[in-house]
Structure 1
Amino acid sequence: MKLVLATSNKGKVREIKALCNEHEVIPYSELIDEFEIIEDGETFKENALIKARAVFEALNDDSVIVVADDSGISVDVLEGEPGIYSARYAGVDASDKDNLYKLIDSIKEKGLKSSPAYYTAAIAIVSNDFEYCVHGWMYGNAHTVVSGNGGFGYDPIFIPLGYDLTLGVLDDEIKKKLSHRSKALSLAKIILETL
């Protein structure tokens, strides 16, 4: 089955390809020019569906299945921030590093070195005949000390429950089992297999 990803984020493309290696997975940017998608939903689910629908319509091909991910980190001490704004926490054109250090500074401003936090992933699947959305979560703590350079985004400061190393350090196989995205994708794969 050919799955078109509604993202050009290299980290997400790499992770989804690895988790769905039994399918042909291609980013939409290999089929059409990249275009701006306004993510104005109020939840991860709404934004994932907005992205998937926009790419499905732009491809203008009733035979494709589009998969979109919207994900982010929510930090308890920041009342759930950055949440759906994780990718643009430090501004619209912010880099992963900019976002990471803004989050560290925000936690420090509360006088803390860490806070309980969790990642959410919403995976939307859109085709000519159906729309679905599934979720996955990973719980742990966000710390103010950067450790490791594996993964992407906030991974170097997030320590999953039951571990003492960040996602920036942990082995890829361990991360696959824990990942919010892999949990959501395992549910998405069940849907894809029943189609």
Structure 2
Amino acid sequence: MKLVLASGNRGKLREFREAFGSQLASVSELMDPIEVEENAESFAGNALLKARAIYNRLGSEYLVIADDSGISVPLLGGAPGIYSARYAGEGADDKANLRKLIDELKKREVERTPAYYTAAIAIVGEKGEYVVHGWMHGDVIDEARGEKGFGYDPIFIPEGYDRTLGELDESIKSEISHRAKAIKLARPLIEMLRK
């Protein structure tokens, strides 16, 4: 059973290959990109939409992994949530999304408030569909600090730390991140499904 990641994102591919090795192929190595409309109301739903679409194209000799993730700020009613990648509008880049979140905090005159990252990993194959979740809790702040990571990392301070993900070493992030936690749960499931 061949293992495929339903993402062309290099950062995600690197994280998943660290867990599953070089036997994990990126979907872009196997087929032309397809547009999957992520219109579910949850991270799990969107991850399943992506995994199903790729599995339906590739066929039953593949086990497809897809993830959907983002950051939620309770003060903002859970925003950006499932809209994390397009918080500042369709086609917005990481910097625009980050700026919008900082602006929303400043509007409320808040320098620091609780937030959490969610990662949902969907696994779709001939034996069924499965989803696991990982979370990372902490706070967001109203100024970007650090050049590491991507997305909202420069304003997120994980619980138990005093620096943002943008300032922390990659080795720490790979231990505590929402995606790392979800991958840890997905690994035994994937091993079982590949037998």
Per the shorter chain, which TM-score range? over 0.9
Deviation (angstroms), 1:58: 1.8
Letter aligned with residue 18 of structure 1: E
Distance 2:104 2:15 in 1: 28
Aligned to 2:117: 119
Aligned to 2:8: 8
Q: How does 1:1-195 map to 2 (within 5 A)?
A: 2-21=2-21, 24-59=23-58, 61-195=59-193
Three-state SS of the structure 2 residue aligned to 1:104 is: helix
Letter aligned with residue 16 of structure 1: F
Deviation (angstroms), 1:10: 2.2
Deviation (angstroms), 1:18: 2.1
Three-state SS of the structure 2 residue aligned to 1:15 is: helix
Deviation (angstroms), 1:2: 3.6
Letter aligned with residue 172 of structure 1: E
Distance 1:184 1:121 in 2: 6
Distance 1:19 1:160 in 2: 22
Three-state SS of the structure 1 residue aligned to 2:113 is: strand
Return 5+ residue gaps in structure 2 as ranges: none
TM-score by length of 1: 0.95
Instruction: Check whether the contact 2:116–2:136 (CA below 8 A) recurs between aligned residues.
Output: yes
Letter aligned with residue 35 of structure 2: E
Aligned residues: 193
Instruction: Check whether the contact 1:44–1:71 (CA below 8 A) recurs between aligned residues.
Output: yes
Letter aligned with residue 84 of structure 2: S
Distance 1:141 1:48 in 2: 25
Letter aligned with residue 194 of structure 1: M
Distance 2:87 2:189 in 1: 32
Letter aligned with residue 15 of structure 1: E
Instruction: Check whether the contact 2:2–2:61 (CA below 8 A) recurs between aligned residues.
Output: no
Return 5+ residue gaps in structure 1 as ranges: none
Letter aligned with residue 20 of structure 1: F
Deviation (angstroms), 1:151: 1.2
Q: Percent identity, aligned pairs only?
A: 55
Deviates more, 1:182-191 or 1:11-20: 11-20
Distance 1:114 1:10 in 2: 31
Distance 2:155 2:18 in 1: 23
| Cα RMSD (Å) | 1.2
Deviation (angstroms), 1:152: 1.1
Three-state SS of the structure 2 residue aligned to 1:99 is: helix
TM-score by length of 2: 0.95
Distance 2:72 2:155 in 1: 13
